[in-house]
Structure 1
Amino acid sequence: MLIRVDPASPLGLAEQIAAQVRAAVIDGSLRGGDKLPPARELAAGLDVNMHTVLRAYGVLRDEGIVELRRGRGAHVRSDLAEPDRERIALRRELRALLDRAARIGLTPDQLADELRKASS
């Protein structure tokens, strides 16, 4: 798995890393049980701080995508089912929608109101 970051991107470095891991899980190039690169190694390869990689891995853990095991590294959860992949894909689309809404000046609450109106 190849991870790249763009320092000029409006997305933070940790979010860029997490987004690429999410995309790899969604498209199947990362499967349950696969090991992610060690944080120190990935940080050196990307020329970023190791804590940036650890922050990305922590976000992925909080989202239920990866397991962090002390001394064994980060692994994609082996029990990730298709509904989980769909939820991850939906969350990715929602982030894009939030970004788009912010570009036109809508707050998350205003976007939620728009979603409610659309579903009525």
Structure 2
Amino acid sequence: MLFRVDPASAVPLGDQIAACVRGALADGSAAPGERLPAARELADSLGVNVHTVLRGYQRLREEGLIELRRGRGAVIVPAAAVPDRARLVERVREVVAEARELGMTEDEVLTLVRTSLSAT
């Protein structure tokens, strides 16, 4: 799995790291059960702080894409739907970014989502 970050980007580095993993899951270059690089090792290779990597990994854990275990590190959850979930998370992030560009409030976005959910 290839990790790249752009320090000049407005996107926080931790989010960029999480996006690398989501992208790898979505395109099949990473698979459920695969172990991610140790946070310290990845931080050294990217030239970022270890806490930056941990923030990215924590975001992935909150999204249900990886498990973090002491002594075992970060592992992609062993679930068949992980690639689909990763693609969905990316699309949701794109929608949220577009909504922010349009000046929508969080409540307006949530109302749109709830309306869409109830329509199906």
Aligned to 1:109: 107
Q: Where does residue 18 of structure 2 map in the other structure?
A: 18
Count of residues in correspondence between the two structures = 118
Root mean square deviation, CA, Å:
1.9
Residue 91 (structure 1) aligns with: 89
Report percent identity of matched pairs: 49
TM superposition score normalised by structure 2: 0.86
Q: Which runs of 5+ in 1 are unaligned?
A: none
User: How many angstroms does 1:86 deviate by?
Assistant: 2.1
Runs of 4+ deviating beyond 4 Å: none
Q: Which runs of 5+ in 2 are unaligned?
A: none
SS in 2 for 1:7: coil
The residue identity in structure 1 corresponding to 2:99 is: A
* Distance in 1, Cα, partners of 2:33 & 2:80: 12
1:35-46 matched pairs, under 5 angstroms: 35-46=35-46
TM-score relative to the length of structure 1: 0.86
